[in-house]
Structure 1
Amino acid sequence: MIFTETKLKDAYCIGLEKLEDDRGFFARTWCRREFREKGISFNLVQGNVSFNKKRGTLRGMHYQAAPYEEAKLVWCIRGAMYDVIIDLRPYSETFKQWISVDLTAENKKLLYIPEGFAHGFLTLTDNTEVFYLMSEFYVPGSARGVRWNDPSFQIHWPAEVTVISEKDRQYPDF
């Protein structure tokens, strides 16, 4: 696995180290030892899949409040998405800053999102499928979000949002 630091403290873009031959390739997408070598303690408890029928579907910006904060490892396994994370940790030197990463089935990049970050994405193709590994169980009473177009963050989305849940549309300003 190839870890690339992002401009947000503790968040990483992860590339696959492919072992290729005439059959195709083999690569690790998760390794506790390699994560620990980077100083990341990621306790896996849950895996999730998100299937999105239409291009322009926006999901986010989601997080869980303490004590159920969750880290995520996100991978686009079909289609393409514009993935966005926001550092919401008040003590962080990158507080309220965001980054985006294009995750596609072709580029096979993964994004490690630390606890205390909001996460969301916009699908860039129809039939986009996303696989998540989570460090915490989903706790409905702890689920929170910030609005995808909150002026506090000024996120630039590369395409029109055409599908969004009412819940995600209604989050208050930060």
Structure 2
Amino acid sequence: MALITETALSGVLEIQPRIFRDERGYFFESFRADWLRSFGVENDWVQDNQSFSQKGTVRGLHFQRAPYAQAKLVRVIQGKVWDVAVDLRKGSATYGQSFAAMLDSEKNNLLYIPTGFAHGFSVLEDAIFAYKCSNYYHQASEGGIKWDDPQLAIDWQVEQAIISAKDQSWPSLKEFTETSGGGL
């Protein structure tokens, strides 16, 4: 079974699958529903996404509002990323706090991010990033938080971030909180 670790943010899980290596290469189970069920997580995964990003890219911080909110199970197929989840759950004791983990194609580790979180990542080595979503993408429900918001103080581990115009235009956490009625 995979080694699953609960993080400081309730519901966010780090997953390290067992990797079987020999002279031919390696094998591992990249997903098993029973892993997550053992932590009370019941998701029907309906969409898989994959992206390639060059070193220095920062993508995020993204979320979708209900009823199209998405839980995500993320990993890298190639390279390394610094993966970040920000708690936006209304009334949460850890609202506005973030958790970050290195996802590395050598370790083949994963991060489970429940609904109610913003998600983003920075690319430390050119990377192919893959993730499962518990709901379909719905453009009108898309939202985000400014990646470099001083209130969040996230160390993205990159010197010269490559950021899309869209990701530069998201509101700060404070602005989001004020306009959303206190969170997702």
Measured after TM superposition, the shift of residue 78 of structure 1 is 0.7
Measured after TM superposition, the shift of residue 106 of structure 1 is 1.1
Alpha-carbon deviations, 1:117-166, whole Å to 9, x = none?
Answer: 000011112x3110011101000000000000112211122222431100
Which residue does the alignment assign to 1:136? 135
Alignment of 1:23-38 (within 5 A): 23-38=24-39
Measured after TM superposition, the shift of residue 66 of structure 1 is 1.1
The residue identity in structure 2 corresponding to 1:98 is S
Measured after TM superposition, the shift of residue 29 of structure 1 is 1.6
Which residue does the alignment assign to 2:181? none
Secondary structure of the 1:167 match is helix
Which residue does the alignment assign to 1:171? 170
Which residue does the alignment assign to 2:43? 42
Measured after TM superposition, the shift of residue 18 of structure 1 is 2.1
The percent identity for this pair of structures is 40
The residue identity in structure 1 corresponding to 2:32 is C
The residue identity in structure 2 corresponding to 1:93 is A
Which residue does the alignment assign to 1:99? 99
Alignment of 1:2-41 (within 5 A): 2-41=3-42
Which residue does the alignment assign to 2:62? 62
Which residue does the alignment assign to 1:88? 88
Secondary structure of the 2:45 match is coil
The residue identity in structure 1 corresponding to 2:169 is Q
Which residue does the alignment assign to 2:176? none
> Unmatched 5+ residue regions in structure 1?
none
Distance 1:130 1:39 in 2: 26
> Is this contact kept in 2: 1:86–1:98, CA < 8 A?
yes
Measured after TM superposition, the shift of residue 77 of structure 1 is 0.8
Measured after TM superposition, the shift of residue 99 of structure 1 is 1.1
The residue identity in structure 1 corresponding to 2:95 is F
Distance 1:155 1:22 in 2: 40
Distance 1:79 1:5 in 2: 24
Distance 2:150 2:36 in 1: 34
Secondary structure of the 2:166 match is helix
Secondary structure of the 1:164 match is coil
The alignment's C-alpha RMSD in Å is 1.2
Greater Cα offset, 151-160 or 101-110: 151-160
Alpha-carbon deviations, 1:39-93, whole Å to 9, x = none?
Answer: 01121000000101x2110100000011111000000111111111101002222
| Alignment TM-score, normalising by the size of structure 1 | 0.94
> Is this contact kept in 2: 1:44–1:136, CA < 8 A?
yes
Distance 1:149 1:46 in 2: 28
Distance 1:63 1:118 in 2: 5
